[in-house]
A = this chain, B = another copy of it.
């Protein structure tokens, strides 16, 4: 397949063709030939976005509890209802989130939640790409830890799907003992799997941890020897320069979630500093109960604006795009997020005829600061069209939205 004459977002903007064979980009150039061509002359063609941290089935809780502190939110609203989630709830919650992601240009995501078997099903059917993990925690209980680790290993062995990778999902240092994390790391390194963990999200969690152990969570993980390049750490809002150095040295991937961090009053992560230090920062929406969208374009704009609060040059548009695309691919260990020979054909077409994409002084700037995701016209994942002219081709959007609405309504009244 040849994508003809698009404005290609890759090292600036170039008007070129892209050749795709199977699921891979095999050439980029002028006047490429092939039997199957797509005219992209009215579009900006860019890599699909990579959402590196979400709890996808929580779309069912969107708008269920807002504008309150994290603990109250969890204890009084989310946890009691999560106990009542059925597999079907999770299936439709995942699909609702996937639809929202496809329509807003995300082609790969990383999830941590419960009933991930349902996420597998939803990802398979929708044509999405994902890294999925069960959220697990030993709570200092060895037996519980062993059981959960066994279940995770079973899940890893059971799932062999082309667009799906499975990761370990230890919830956080304050819910997982060092022994448990160390055991997980042994398996993760052996099986070449990622570890997806929450890290330094709230001030309170760090303070409590320090009081208990005399070390911050990052220092503890470092001394336990569980930090490495396969660790994907969500949030990292409150962090010292010394701790950033540790993350850099161990090549830990940071998954930044600016909307969630604001909405739950956790603050603003020092992303510009992380980038300066050479840390691989990528972007996540977090679950829809604390954001409340799965729209990574909105997240990208928010990130870029927030970093400028004191320095207008702190994050340039190009950097923001790289964080939302290429860095996500690096973090999740998929060859995605970049238009380059040998990379996966995960691409989106942006409609340049929208008012907010005009003028075209700087298309990267438009993508970050003025675009909204309704300009995403076409989505290709793994070399296949998943959305064309805003119509999703793999699953029935209207049916899913209606079913998800019913399940969500039923769930909160259960």
What residues of chain A have their CB less than 8 Å away from a CB belonging to chain B?
59-64, 66-70, 73, 96, 99-100, 103, 259, 262-265, 267-268, 288, 291-295, 298, 301-302, 305-306, 308-317, 353-356, 358-363, 365-366, 369-370, 372-374, 397-398, 401, 404-405, 408-409, 412
* Chain B residues near A372 (CB-CB < 8 A): 293, 295, 298, 372-374
Instruction: Indicate which residue in B294, B298, B408 contacts A301 across the interface (CB closer than 8 Å).
Output: B298
CA distance A401 to B355 in the complex (A): 6
Instruction: Indicate which residue in B301, B365, B373, B408 contacts A63 across the interface (CB closer than 8 Å).
Output: B365
Q: List 27 A-B contacts (CB under 8 A).
A: A62-B361, A63-B362, A64-B359, A66-B317, A66-B362, A67-B313, A68-B312, A69-B312, A69-B313, A100-B355, A100-B356, A262-B309, A263-B305, A263-B308, A263-B369, A267-B309, A288-B370, A293-B372, A302-B305, A355-B401, A358-B404, A358-B408, A359-B405, A359-B408, A361-B408, A361-B412, A372-B374
A361 B305 Cβ-Cβ under 8 A: no
What is the minimal beta-carbon distance from A165 to any residue of chain B, in angstroms?
Answer: 25
- Given A358-B96, A374-B372, check contact A70 B312 (CB 8 Å): yes
Q: Which of chain B's residues has its CB closest to A364's CB?
A: B63
CA distance A60 to B360 in the complex (A): 9
* Chain B residues near A99 (CB-CB < 8 A): 355
CA distance A103 to B375 in the complex (A): 13
Q: How many copies make up the complex?
A: 2
* Chain B residues near A373 (CB-CB < 8 A): 372, 374
Q: Which of chain B's residues has its CB closest to A408's CB?
A: B359
Instruction: Indicate which residue in B63, B305, B360 contacts A259 across the interface (CB closer than 8 Å).
Output: B305
* Chain B residues near A96 (CB-CB < 8 A): 355, 358
What is the minimal beta-carbon distance from A382 to any residue of chain B, in angstroms?
Answer: 22
Instruction: Indicate which residue in B60, B309, B398 contacts A268 across the interface (CB closer than 8 Å).
Output: B309
B309 A370 Cβ-Cβ under 8 A: no
* Chain B residues near A374 (CB-CB < 8 A): 372-374
User: Across chains A and B, which 10 residue pairs bring their CB atoms closest together, nearest first?
Assistant: A374-B374, A359-B408, A63-B365, A292-B369, A63-B362, A292-B370, A262-B305, A265-B312, A63-B361, A64-B361
A311 B265 Cβ-Cβ under 8 A: yes
CA distance A99 to B353 in the complex (A): 12
* Chain B residues near A292 (CB-CB < 8 A): 365-366, 369-370
CA distance A398 to B60 in the complex (A): 38
B308 A265 Cβ-Cβ under 8 A: yes
Q: Which of chain B's residues has its CB closest to A405's CB?
A: B358
A317 B67 Cβ-Cβ under 8 A: yes
* Chain B residues near A293 (CB-CB < 8 A): 356, 369-370, 372
* Chain B residues near A62 (CB-CB < 8 A): 356, 358-359, 361, 365-366, 370
* Chain B residues near A404 (CB-CB < 8 A): 358-359
B63 A312 Cβ-Cβ under 8 A: no
